[in-house]
Structure 1
Amino acid sequence: MNKIKILHCADLHLGAELSSLGSKAGQRREEMLMTFDGIVSICRKENVELLLIAGDFFESTGPDSVVVRSVKKALSEIPETAVAIAPGNHDYVSLDSPYADQDWPENVHIFQSGFDCFELPGKGVRVWGAGFTGTYVTEPLLGESGAPEDDLLNICVLHGDLVAENQSSNYNPVTPSRIRFSGMDYLALGHIHMRTEILHSGKTAYAYCGCPEGRGFDELGEKGVYIGTVMKDRAELAFRPVCRRKNLEVRVDIGGVSANNEAAAVVLHTLQQQFGETYADNLYKIILEGALDVSYSPDCTGVAARLENELYYVKIKDETHLQADLGALSRETSLKGIFVRRMLEKINAASGEPQKEQCRRALDIGLKAFDSEVKRNEN
């Protein structure tokens, strides 16, 4: 029975500016490149026969030449591993893109445009794919006619957007029916940065592996690749974490504290308890919550400053609320009393929990304004 060991990765976005990280941006750019080096190392150490890179390998069509040279050198060091790259919407094929270079290692195949395939000599495997040639691809790249019905394994790598039947997309729409009739044994997808489980449409297994490194707080948690064996009508693949750091969003109850240093201490203790010895290595978005006395409102910049020497990167958001007797306040004849009464009426009349929470937040901000406690906090 034909079988092949593969590693499926996507959306590395090498060369991304990461400007939101400030002074940490340069280090994180290099770490993302080091993560790719780690993927190559896995291929070498674990005898991966086929490395699939499903688009947005680079952040743009014109990445820094140092990044490109580093990538080419790394791939040249795994000559026994075939590498198939399907350019995506960020790093689409163009005359001046690195994909037009003639000095890629011999083991690397880059799909330049329409749906096509090549065979791996002696492996009994066809590798299919296609490349973006612009930012937008509205017509499906996955071929309508299925792969030949023979003994060869058929593996496909594509950057694309999984959509429902008859749904459109600007990023290579891929429908379950096209997957079902493709004749592929495995379809390696890129574009969506959150991984899926190994899915099936007919006899074809397919998946998004997600990105190997999160670039922001919209890409939370463990990131990695899929690795394993593909056989006829069967894919035995497992998720492998490879990220050097995780982006994490953590809610911390600081109820009862009365100063920034106390708030920072509670945050640090919470992270130590939740993430153990490696807590300091991650990038955190900390959301402060809990009831506070009117005498203290967290200064997000100040709390972050107290944590900067303890954590690799931290961003603070204040969602605390005042510890106040709203019933008593609503009975006051003052402007504050009128405001509280009106807001409580809005909360009671709100149609759902999200709307109620929005009104509660507006009430809290209003009370802080009455007590001159509103600060310019980081969001």
Structure 2
Amino acid sequence: MKFIHAADIHLDSPLSGLSAYQDAPTDLLRTATRDAFSNLVGEAIDEAVDFVIIAGDLYDGNWKDYNTGVFFSREMGRLHAASIPVFLIYGNHDAESEMTRKLSLPANVTAFASNRAHTLRLDHLKVALHGQSFKHAATTDNLAADYPPRVDGWLNIGVLHTALEGYAAHASYAPCSLAELLAKGYDYWALGHVHEHAVLHTEPWIVFPGNLQGRHIRETGARGAILVTADEDRIVSVERICTDVLRWHRLEVDVSAADDLATAVRCVSRKFSTLLETAQDGRPMAVRVVLNGRSTAHGDLFGNEAQLRAEILSLAASLAGDRAWIEKVRVETTPVFDAAAVRARADAIADLQSLLDLAPADPALLAALTEELRYLADITPHELSDALPQLKAIRNGEVGAIIESVVPGLIAYLIKAG
């Protein structure tokens, strides 16, 4: 007997701030969650699984229109034709109270009720599925505590959307402890909500499959679902399957040894070539390049982000063609000389360093800069705030922090130019 465990599909999840990205593969990004879901359905059919479990967040909240539901029904039709049923729970993103538009579920799809935890019995397989959907998005009760007892002599699977414990990066919905799950005596816990793949326990298995498709740079690496093989009373194997159609990567490049922009780009070239060699599955890649290290190139990189990005775009095009998109280039290097060392120079640059040390706390300067910059911030679309966090700081009147971040680069630039 085989089944697939998936979660956090977020069909038609909006990609906010996409217009801030240059040369983005917008068509691929906009359909990525759908394409990944279609891949999941294809895997289920190819593997001839007995059923599919979706452990919450099938949707991403209220539908913009009915197309999301129609797409889901079409994919369920493929499974129905292959005689594969689907069992799902609603999580915080698709809680019953959140859905303003609903279509009747396809005939092969069963949703767990939200009023209480209950058991669905698959008699022909001797499988007992235990689960409960969210009634409200902000469900902070411990749902697992009231899950039914195991059915003796059957394979018992718990389906739960939960933050569990120790996942501070995720909202604390339906919290519970690992010990509570173990105490239920189930053979497998099919969890959802946490977007990173994690096997928390074996025998019994307690698993987060992660989401089907990475949607932004905070969701890097392979994404997919879990294929589980079992016999009448135990789990035989648990295997991860990848469904993503585009994979996000954060490429950290140490440019400590670089003297200028050109040598920094050569450092990127070496790391980028290694990335291409290790990622040979043919999937398109969205790559954020982050330059770091204490480097004499810091001054040369300061203010030259446009040229640096152009150089890296050209590099990526020559090495990967259309396979790689450079989502962003971040300069997080630090100068070789700190402020104390610069002040000890006893020259014009040292005098400038001393003046700039006072700038972040100068009320007249801050007021003037805020007035000048706020106009630019106010006419810039708010959707760009995620891509340009400085805009948010300007709108909040936090110009001092921007000055502090700029000063080291400016001083390093002047030293390099001198």
TM-score w.r.t. structure 2 length? Answer: 0.72
Q: What is the CA distance between 1:225 and its match in structure 2?
A: 1.2
Are the aligned partners of 2:131 and 2:147 in contact in 1 as well (CA < 8 Å)? no
For the aligned residue pairs, the C-alpha RMSD in angstroms reads 3.2
1:177 and 2:204 matched: no
Partners of 1:30 and 1:136 lie apart in 2 by: 28
Deviates more, 1:8-17 or 1:365-374: 365-374
Contact preservation (8 Å) 1:156, 1:188:
yes
Partner residue of 2:307 out of 298, 302, 308: 302
1:65 aligns with 2:69: no
Equivalent in the alignment of 2:286: 283
Aligned residue for 2:2?
Answer: 5
Partner residue in 2 for 1:321: 334
**Structure 1: segments with no counterpart, 5+ residues:** 344-361, 375-379
CA distance in 2, matches of 1:285, 1:271: 11
- Unpaired segments of 5 or more residues in structure 2? 318-323, 358-402
SS state of the match for residue 124, structure 2?
A: coil
Alignment match, 1:125: 127
Q: Deviations over 1:191-220 (max 9, x none)?
A: 1111112514xx632111111211222222
Code of the aligned partner of 1:13: H
> What one-letter code is carried by the residue in structure 2 that aligns with 1:107?
N
Cα distance in 2 for residues equivalent to 1:328 and 1:174 = 52
Of 13, 16, 20, which aligns to 1:16? 13
Aligned partners of 1:196, 1:321: CA distance in 2, in Å?
A: 35
Structure 1 residues 332 and 134: CA distance shift in structure 2, 3 A: same
**Aligned counterpart, 2:392:** none
Contact 2:228/2:235 (<8 A) preserved: no
- State yes or no: 1:161 paired with 2:166: no
Instruction: After TM superposition, give the deviation of residue 120 of structure 1 in Å.
Output: 2.0
- Correspondence 1:53 to 2:49: no
Distance 1:327 1:134, change over 3 A: closer
Secondary structure of the equivalent of 1:173? coil
Report the Cα offset of residue 324 of structure 1. 4.9
Q: Show the 5 A alignment for 1:233-272.
A: 233-234=234-235, 236-254=237-255, 255-256=257-258, 258-259=260-261, 263-264=264-265, 266-272=267-273
For residue 188 of structure 1, report the CA deviation from its aligned partner: 0.3
Answering whether residue 91 of structure 2 is matched by residue 88 of structure 1, we say yes
Distance 1:67 1:154, change over 3 A: same
Q: Which residue is equivalent to 1:218?
A: 218
Tell me the secondary structure at the aligned position of residue 296 of structure 1: helix
Distance in 2 (alpha carbons) for counterparts of 1:109 and 1:325: 63
State the number of aligned residues. 343
Distance in 2, matches of 1:313 and 1:280, equals 14
In structure 1, how many angstroms separate the alpha carbons of the residues matched to 2:52 and 2:283?
A: 32
Asked if the contact 2:298–2:334 (Cα under 8 Å) also holds between the matched residues in 1, the reply is no
Sequence identity percentage: 21
Equivalent pair of 2:199/2:207 in contact (CA under 8 Å): yes
Deviation string 1:96-155 (CA, Å, 9 cap, x unpaired) is: 445x422x2211111230212222241111222111121111212225364244222221
Q: Given residue 132 of structure 1, which amino acid in structure 2 is its aligned partner?
A: F
* Aligned mates of 1:157, 1:373 — CA distance in 2: 60
Q: Name the SS for the 1:267 alignment partner.
A: helix
Cα pair 2:92 2:136 within 8 Å, conserved: yes
Distance in structure 1 (CA, Å) of the matches to 2:340 and 2:281:
45
Which whole-Å CA distance do the structure 1 matches of 2:335 and 2:160 have between them? 51
**Contact 2:142–2:176 (CA<8 Å) still a contact in 1?**
yes
Q: Secondary structure at the match of 2:276?
A: helix
Q: Could you tell me which residue of structure 2 aligns to residue 358 of structure 1? A: none
Q: Any conservation in 1 of the 2:162–2:172 contact (CA below 8 Å)?
A: no
CA distance in 1: counterparts of 2:172 and 2:234, whole angstroms: 30
> Who is 2:230 aligned against?
230
Q: Distance in 2 between matches of 1:7 and 1:155?
A: 12
Offset at 1:228? 1.9
Distance 1:315 1:10 in 2: 28
Q: Is the 8 A contact 1:272 1:279 kept in 2?
A: no
CA contact (8 A) 1:336 1:367 kept: no
The aligned amino acid for 2:90 is: P
Closer, same or farther in 2 for the Cα pair 1:373/1:207, shift >3 Å?
farther
